[in-house]
A and B are shown apart, each in its own frame.
Chain A
Amino acid sequence: MAKILVLVIGLIIIGFIVWWFFGKHEVAEVSADVGDDLQSIDVEVNGGYSPETVVLKKGIPAVLNFTRKDQSSCLDRVVFSDFGVNQALPVNEKEAIKIDTSKAGEYQWACGMDMFHGKLIIK
């Protein structure tokens, strides 16, 4: 009896894992606050990035403010491979990263180990 219960519970958990991690889940897309000559947005780093997708206006200098709340060394750097940025993120400190918005397009950013990803859309 106990074994059947274990089997059922195990399968339910597996089902949940598949649904939770592989199912389609909405990702919030957030646009930066645009001023006259600067646009900026705060990104919180805690078990990933929130927001995960940032939309910037083309041509206006942009600053992304990353604040790491997470102790994990997985997230201790943020890398924008297209912009040559590899910035250390000390815990609970706001790190400003300047982005060159002269070219429209979609760019990825990632943590230092390439496990967590964020997307930058310049349009």
Chain B
Amino acid sequence: MTITKRFWVSLILSLPLLANMIMMPFGKTIIGGVWTQLILTTIIMAVSARPFWNSAWASFTKHHSNMDTLVAIGTLVAYVYSIYAMATGQAVFFESAAFVTTFVLLGQVFEERMRNNASDAVGKLVDLQAKEADVKRDGEFKKIPMSEVVVGDVIRVKPGEKVAVDGTIIDGTSTIDESMVTGESMPVEKRSGDKVIGSTINSNGTFTFKAEKVGNDTMLSQIVELVKKAQNSHAPIQNLTDKVSDIFVPVVLILSILTFMVWYVFLDASVANSLIFAVSVVVIACPCALGLATPTALMVGTGRSAKMGILIKNGEVLEAVNEIKTVVLDKTGTVTVGKPEVTDIVGNEKAVLSVASGLEQSSEHPLASAILTDAKEKEIVTPKVADFKAIEGKGVSAQVNGKQAFVGNDKLLADVKISDAMKQQVTKLQKEAKTVVFVGLNDKVIGLIAIQDAPKATSKEAIAALKARGLKTVMLTGDNQLVAEAIAKQVGIDEVVADVLPSEKADHVKAIQQDGKVAFVGDGINDAPALTVADVGIAMGSGTDIAIESGGIVLVKNDLRDVDKALALSKKTFNRIKLNLFWAFIYNVLGIPVAAGIFFGIGLTLSPELAGLAMAFSSLSVVTSSMLLNKAKITSKVATA
């Protein structure tokens, strides 16, 4: 029989007992008197309460105890004593056994429902998945089930349809609503060559795309997997409740026996009264509230953040966020757009660009691609190069037209000559937040290329929000000091660590950790070690798989403002866990003495049925408090600061 049915049986049969209780002060009883009470309660015990006894017994034989142990003992004692009292003609309290059963079941009915709601977030994500795709097979588009789509398939998406899997658009343009995956509310414009995400909704255009990730590899599947793990992860704070829950029930049983002994032996109370106190102690104690405090809040918190495109990987991260003192940001792609552009060229434009493009043509450095793009636009012919050499952290050199040519940053200057006029130019450009690349032939600088990677439009606001939170912001970059400072000034970052080699990022994070816990925000492959070393690694959405793997928090959207949101959500969730735990502890710490009759002197006592009601609502209130996390406001402090 389900809990709901057991509850209804118990409730309906309890009503006459309730009527009896109300009529009693007026000297009346229900028809049949005590016998009716006995019959009704016996049915409730047999139908509604027996599963508690079964479960309690099963765990007892395994040397375990749980909430059912308490409910079983409470109801059984009240019931058996009442039969004894009836036989010996004393006052009975059948209604206690009946009401406790009803209330406990009521609590469980609600609780079950809410717990199911709390774990719903994953189900909703899975439901987003498209069911079929319009795939080109044998030259024709055909609808086939999702499971048959393979990498390399060409898939057509019509207006209003869902994008089946992850891929790249081959043909056509459209705007796509990606809010369900990234949390970005504005539809995004997409054209040939752009990436599309499976399960997002195409709005107006028709396009075809090539499937690149299918099945469990799609972004949505990855997110679902991440959220599932996060929702069921263990927060370190739970170690405390784990310890308590192991000893909780036996300790309560001992307290209850002590209660009986003290009242009966030392305070000369009657058997019936002593028993009522003892039963109240057993019934009011609620280990479930303690057990539910952390998992339910974790489930709701991580589920909600996933909807906003913020994936918090586990409970540990959530706890760590609370102690963060400093946020370290990678520059390129995190604070800035990550697409550098050439802004100025000093020297003979054609000659400088020609040499530079020759040397940079096989480089994957973002600055190199800026130079190549510019050279292409200006129709510069790329010369042949030979003897290509990379100088780590400095630049590259090679033979161009029989001359030794080099391209690199100011670390190269130690080895080469540069005119004073050019030096002044360098400083001027760097103060404008432009990265200067030196181009030279035969150990002499022949020109400069100034490249700028502009800060994202949202960076300033994002940094302000972090500072309003009382966090120190530090930017790490491989750029030179002047450029880095100029960018930092534009967006309001407190401190700059410039001239950092990619391999040194993690070391710098470690150094900053001396002054307190650090969150690192980054996206590139070379950020992975820093993301791992930091107390909280925050990987930005446009990032690579490796970065996402290393981050404790993953921002699906490439928006720096989400860092603040992620921190806010983590804090809210963790505070809710603490609140839940506090409430669950304080409830038991206060409830048990009251039930034991310690405050009898000032007239404060609890009957077993009230104790049962209190117990039902304590675990319910914990679950409710967790559910309210869904409604909690996530505000950026910058608005009020």
**Which residues from chain A sit less than 8 Å from chain B, CB to CB?**
3, 6-7, 10, 13-14, 17-18, 20-23, 25, 46-48, 50, 52, 69-77, 79-81, 83-86, 108, 112-116
Contacts and interface: CB of A to CB of B under 8 A. Distances in A.
A48 B232 contact: no
Given A3-B265, A86-B231, A73 B3 contact: yes
Nearest to B111: A73
Contact of B112 (A3, A13, A73): A73
Interface string B43-85: 0000000011011111111111111100000000000000000
Interface stretch (B256-264, B345-353, B395-403, B606-614): B256-264
A10 B265 CA distance: 11
Contacts of A69: 58
Nearest to A87: B232
A87 B82 CA distance: 41
B250 A17 contact: yes
B261 A10 contact: yes
Given A18-B250, A18-B254, A115-B245, A74 B62 contact: no
B327 interface: no
B151 to A, nearest CB: 23
Contacts of A10: 257-258, 260-261
Nearest to A70: B55
B234 to A, nearest CB: 5
B144 interface: no
Given A3-B265, A14-B254, A114-B242, A48 B295 contact: no
Contacts of B242: 114
Which bracket fits the contact residues of B?
35 or more
Given A50-B62, A73-B112, 10 more contacts: A7-B261, A17-B257, A47-B54, A47-B56, A47-B59, A47-B64, A69-B58, A71-B3, A85-B232, A113-B295
Given A20-B63, A48-B58, A115-B66, A71 B51 contact: yes
Contact of A81 (B115, B232, B247): B232
Interface stretch (B163-171, B284-292, B440-448, B505-513): B284-292
B291 A114 contact: yes
Contacts of A113: 288, 291-292, 295
Contacts of A70: 51, 54-55, 58
B interface SS class: helix
B290 to A, nearest CB: 9
B228 interface: yes
A47 B249 CA distance: 14
B63 A81 contact: no
A36 to B, nearest CB: 24
B206 interface: no
B344 interface: no
8 contacts: A10-B258, A18-B254, A21-B247, A47-B55, A48-B64, A70-B58, A74-B55, A114-B295
B108 interface: yes
B323 interface: no
B232 A84 contact: yes
A72 B232 CA distance: 21
Contact of A72 (B55, B119, B238, B241): B55
Contacts of B261: 6-7, 10
B385 interface: no
A86 B232 contact: yes
A74 B232 contact: no
A67 to B, nearest CB: 13
Interface of B: 1, 3, 51-52, 54-68, 108, 111-112, 115, 119, 225, 228-234, 238, 241-242, 245, 247, 249-250, 253-254, 257-258, 260-261, 264-265, 287-288, 291-292, 294-295
Nearest to B260: A10
Given A21-B250, A70-B55, A6 B264 contact: yes
A50 B265 CA distance: 41
Nearest to A4: B265
A103 B67 CA distance: 35
Contacts of A71: 1, 3, 51, 54-55
Contacts of B229: 83-84
Nearest to B289: A113
Contact of A114 (B233, B245, B258): B245
Contacts of A21: 63-65, 247, 249-250
B499 to A, nearest CB: 40
A114 to B, nearest CB: 5
Contacts of A112: 115, 295
A73 B254 CA distance: 25
Nearest to B238: A114
B250 A115 contact: no
Nearest to B65: A21
Contact of A74 (B68, B228, B241, B295): B68
Contacts of A22: 247, 250
Contacts of B65: 21
B253 to A, nearest CB: 6
A106 B291 CA distance: 22
Contact of B232 (A46, A50, A79): A79
B257 A14 contact: yes
A72 B66 contact: yes
Contacts of A7: 261, 265
A72 B52 contact: yes
Interface centre among B225, B250, B294 (most CB of A within 10 A): B250
Contacts of B111: 73
Contacts of A13: 257
A94 to B, nearest CB: 18
Given A74-B68, A114-B242, A86 B119 contact: yes
A31 to B, nearest CB: 20
Nearest to B231: A86
Contacts of B230: 84
Nearest to B58: A47
A77 B64 CA distance: 18
| 4 closest cross-chain pairs (CB), A and B | A47-B58, A47-B59, A71-B51, A84-B229
A74 B249 CA distance: 14
A79 B287 CA distance: 18
B196 to A, nearest CB: 27
A116 B66 contact: yes
Nearest to A10: B261
A115 B115 CA distance: 16
Contacts of B66: 47, 72, 74, 115-116
A115 B58 contact: no
Contacts of A18: 250, 254
Contacts of A86: 119, 228, 231-232
